[in-house]
Structure 1
C-alpha cells in the first residue's frame, strides 16, 4: 500500500466521520416529539441531571 493510498483512506474516513457527526447534530436538534416519531433516541436536553453535569464539567473546548 502506497503512502497516497493511506492518505486517501484517512481522508475518506475523516469525511465520513464529519458527515455522520453533522447528521447526528441535525437529528438531535429536532423537537423531542419528532425524534420519537422517527425512532431516534430523544436527546437529554431537558434532563436536570444532564444540565448539572454540563455545569460541573464545563463545555467542550
Structure 2
C-alpha cells in the first residue's frame, strides 16, 4: 500500500466522520416531538455536561 493510498483512506474516514457528526447535530437540534416521531432518541436538554459544552466549547473565542 502506497503512502497516497493511506492518505486517501484517512481523508475519506475523516470526511465520513464529519458528515456523520453533522447529521447527528442536525437531528439533535430538532424539537423533541419531531425526534420522537421519527424514532430518534430524544437528546437530554437539561444535562449539565451538555450545557457546559454548549457554553464553553461551542462559543466563539
TM-score normalised by length of structure 2 = 0.79
- 2:28 aligned with 1:60: no
Partner Cα distance (1:3, 1:26) in 2: 35
Q: Which runs of 5+ in 2 are unaligned?
A: none
Shift of 1:60: 3.4
Shift of 1:59: 3.5
Deviations 1:7-58 (A, max 9, x none): 000000000000000000000000000000000000001x3xx12x445xx8
- 2:3 aligned with 1:3: yes
Q: How many residues align?
A: 55
SS at match of 2:44: coil
Runs of 4+ in 1 over 4 A off after TM superposition: none
The residue correspondences of 1:1-61 to structure 2 (distance < 5 A) are 1-45=1-45, 47=46, 50-51=47-48, 53=49, 54-55=51-52, 59-60=56-57
